[in-house]
Structure 1
Amino acid sequence: MTRLLLITERFAPDLGGLARSATRLVGTLSQLGIKIDVVTWSRFLQPGEVLPPETGEANTRVYRIGLYRHWDMTMPYTLNVLDWLHSSHAYDAVWGHYLFPSGFLATWFAALNGLASTVSARGNDIDREMFPPGDFARLQWTLQHAKAITAVSADMSRKIQLLSGREDVLVLKNVVDTEIFSPHNPQARRGGISKETLGIASDEVVLGFCGELREKKGQQFLLNALTTVRQVRPACLLIIGEVRTSQDSVLQLYKTHQPENAQRIIITGHLPNPEAVAEYLRLCDVYLQPSLWEGMPNALLEAMACGCCCIASDAGGIPEVIIHGKNGFVLPRSHLHKLGEAVLECLTMTIEEKNQIVQAARDRILTEYSLTQEKLQLQTLIDLLIPNSV
């Protein structure tokens, strides 16, 4: 049986799209009959501490390593752990999930041991690492020496080709469990989430955002949109997730200047499972993704699958999934200050027009961003990475 080592900075139950995508990929790879050891780091362990392996999906073990204060200690120590694991389990290939630090470490470790390596570019890892204080030389070395490279969007694939000179980048799309993320939940639990339980009035428009809210996700534009919409009609902003601690000052400043509007911001906090996330998404009248830069946001795909009417920026791969006016609406990043006006315009649609938009969004996810599509793509990648794998 093929044995794969996957290195990722975050893994469930960690927060964010990176952890969700890594966890989902491991589950799908396991279904393909591949044994997987996951190595991930944790700030909640003592530096250098290695927990006993967790067993999750069939054929899967998860090793968590305590982070040192700086990467110049964490990475050499992690290499020691990888050497120990490889001597015990003899891996066939190494996967780095995100280009740095996971992708670089996976590519370097694989080169040292004569193994095949693959790295997956997920979000802003290209845009962030190519500019200071990112390490351009390390980024380029990783892209040039990995045996296989995947990207979540054609936009990111094009950037990788420009940086590395390679033309063999495989687009491996983010995908959605369309049974969990759907417009209607036939197994909805009694006493579940509703507008009433959240203190949302029946006439309030629910503006939704899902994930860890921070600057790159357009935090200020979301707050400005809430202000604009509430000048015309009752509305609230539902943040399905958390506000990054370092960005909390922006929210506090908004509360100082807009105290009444700030009272209509509802923050769920971290949710334990995707079923809970889907429940909240179904409450949204308009879902907003005003990102400044992106790969292909999981949350936007999940919102589309849930039948939300979505307004998003044109960052990264977003225009590859949203066709403006057909299955959602795209606002140029240069016009994000008009997000509130776009919401108000969206709210003037008839029921028939809105239904056409959200059905087209759902159909797009079903045809191009489903778990079935991901399984086919992953099998292609594994065949390339490890020929004659069993």
Structure 2
Amino acid sequence: MASGPRVLLLAERFPPDIGGLARSGARTAGSLVRLGARVDVVAWTRTAQPGALETVQDAGDVSPFAKGVTLHRLGLFGSADLSMQHTLDVLGHLHSRRKYDLVWGHYLYPPGFLAVVFAQSAGLKSILSARGNDVDQLMFPPGDFARLLWTIQRADVLTAASADLGRKMAMLLGRDPGVEVIPNAVDTALFSPGPADAALRERLGIQPGEAVLGFSGELRHKKGLPFLLSALTEVRRVRPACLLVIGEVRARDAEHLVAYRAEHPEDAARIIISGALESPELIAEHLRLCDVYLQPSLWEGMPNALLEAMACARPVIASDAGGIPEAVESGVNGFIVEKALLNHLGQACLDVLGLPEAKRAALGAAARARIEAGFQADAEAAVLSRVLTRAMPRSSA
């Protein structure tokens, strides 16, 4: 509705960037539009010239989740301080033309910090959204604890992707600020059970009889990259298997793969990397190929990729990082391996792959049911509506 608040959402990543953070930003922005808000997103990019501002009038062109959102992509400078100072100038320019009511920071730093700084300077309300390991990154060296505390103290409303993140922010503040937990929403029509696509399996080079260990997103150290590699080696000692990375490996973590290839060349040859996929439908098709989906994260908020795999009724094995235990009940709809014991991931994979087909199907069905019960758009929309009302009590949204 036209009378809804005008919201400026700052995001570090936004489609066509890959990964759960980008998808959750698009989903949040699109959901706010459906609640009647008028939403502009400012997101950084390295594909534009430094300082250049590019505008997409309807971000539905880059993500089906963000229909009706106006997207402004801002080229990064080589240094963070220059980029942040220039971003504040750009936000001031956009506000002079668009007249925002509310600033939303999607991830604590840098977008959350800049959102609160700009909101305070412009006399606007601010909402802060903790999404992943952003609290942990800033709490401990070399993170900036003072900036973290300043940011969460001055935001008008705090939100988080999991109850675990909400508890951490309350602990830092020394009080209960009423953190709103916004559950990640999965499109269960797109991410749904179904048979594996034999043609896709062949195109990817998955061999007959190979068990497929799956991971989705941008693979890096915090997502458990070393444990995935060691699990692949351990499983392949017992049975044919491959590791399917549905996405990409972060460039600065590629050295792990180089070392692994030198030590385990035959196992490394069975790592299949899809590259960035253009649509959620393609991601779902790849997830359906997985015999077991792995999320051995060291730090997390609430990983979208894990929820999407569960929606596709895949048996999952995950760590107990962050909010993961809020979705995965070990032995019921998946299995949990403690972060301190992730060296046992390979054996856990063998245990799940060795289960009777009926038991694995039951695990997948229970995983799907958990997503349908707690991680759909209706649950997300209800909390977002409450958040808007808290930030702007007189808002018609």
Assess same fold via TM > 0.5. Answer: yes
How far apart in 1 are the matches of 2:184 and 2:205?
A: 33
- What does 1:92-111 correspond to in 2, within 5 Å? 92-111=101-120
Cα distance change on mapping 1:214 and 1:203 into 2, 3 Å = same
How far apart in 1 are the matches of 2:270 and 2:147?
A: 45
Cα distance change on mapping 1:89 and 1:317 into 2, 3 Å = same
Establish whether residue 27 from structure 1 lines up as the match of residue 30 from structure 2: yes
How far apart in 1 are the matches of 2:17 and 2:175?
A: 33
2:190 to 157, 177, 180: 180
> Does the 8 Å contact 2:45/2:74 carry over to 1?
yes
- What does 1:197-276 correspond to in 2, within 5 Å? 197-276=203-282
1:88 to 84, 97, 101: 97
Percent identity between matched residues is 53
Q: Under a length normalisation based on structure 2, what TM-score does the superposition of the two structures give?
A: 0.94
Aligned to 2:134: 125
How far apart in 2 are the matches of 1:171 and 1:325?
A: 25
Aligned to 1:334: 340
Secondary structure of the residue that 2:159 maps to in structure 1?
Answer: strand
| Ranges of 4+ aligned residues in structure 1 off by more than 4 Å | none
1:157 to 149, 154, 166: 166
1:169 to 179, 182, 206: 179
How far apart in 2 are the matches of 1:331 and 1:193?
A: 33
How far apart in 2 are the matches of 1:166 and 1:111?
A: 22
Higher mean C-alpha displacement, 93-102 vs 344-353: 344-353
Aligned to 1:50: 53
Instruction: Output the aligned Cα RMSD.
Output: 1.4
Residues 263-313 of structure 1: CA distance to partner in whole angstroms, max 9, x if unpaired? 111100000111100000000000011111111111000000001000001
> Does the 8 Å contact 1:40/1:62 carry over to 2?
yes
> Does the 8 Å contact 2:30/2:68 carry over to 1?
no
How far apart in 2 are the matches of 1:84 and 1:192?
A: 52
How far apart in 1 are the matches of 2:51 and 2:267?
A: 45
Question: How far does residue 334 in structure 1 lie from its aligned partner after superposition?
Answer: 1.3
Cα distance change on mapping 1:359 and 1:158 into 2, 3 Å = same
Secondary structure of the residue that 1:316 maps to in structure 2?
Answer: coil
Secondary structure of the residue that 1:38 maps to in structure 2?
Answer: strand
> Does the 8 Å contact 1:6/1:96 carry over to 2?
yes
How far apart in 1 are the matches of 2:55 and 2:365?
A: 46
Establish whether residue 280 from structure 1 lines up as the match of residue 289 from structure 2: no
Question: How far does residue 184 in structure 1 lie from its aligned partner after superposition?
Answer: 2.2
Give 5+ residue unaligned stretches, structure 1. Answer: none
How far apart in 2 are the matches of 1:193 and 1:144?
A: 53
Establish whether residue 16 from structure 1 lines up as the match of residue 19 from structure 2: yes
Question: How far does residue 196 in structure 1 lie from its aligned partner after superposition?
Answer: 2.2
1:39 to 29, 42, 50: 42
Question: How far does residue 389 in structure 1 lie from its aligned partner after superposition?
Answer: 1.6
Question: How far does residue 28 in structure 1 lie from its aligned partner after superposition?
Answer: 1.1
Question: How far does residue 192 in structure 1 lie from its aligned partner after superposition?
Answer: 7.8
> Does the 8 Å contact 2:293/2:316 carry over to 1?
yes
Residues 308-337 of structure 1: CA distance to partner in whole angstroms, max 9, x if unpaired? 000001111111110000000000111111
Q: Which amino acid aligns with 1:7?
A: L
Question: How far does residue 193 in structure 1 lie from its aligned partner after superposition?
Answer: 5.0
Q: Under a length normalisation based on structure 1, what TM-score does the superposition of the two structures give?
A: 0.96
Question: How far does residue 201 in structure 1 lie from its aligned partner after superposition?
Answer: 2.4
Residues 356-387 of structure 1: CA distance to partner in whole angstroms, max 9, x if unpaired? 11111000000100112111111111111111
Q: Which amino acid aligns with 1:149?
A: L
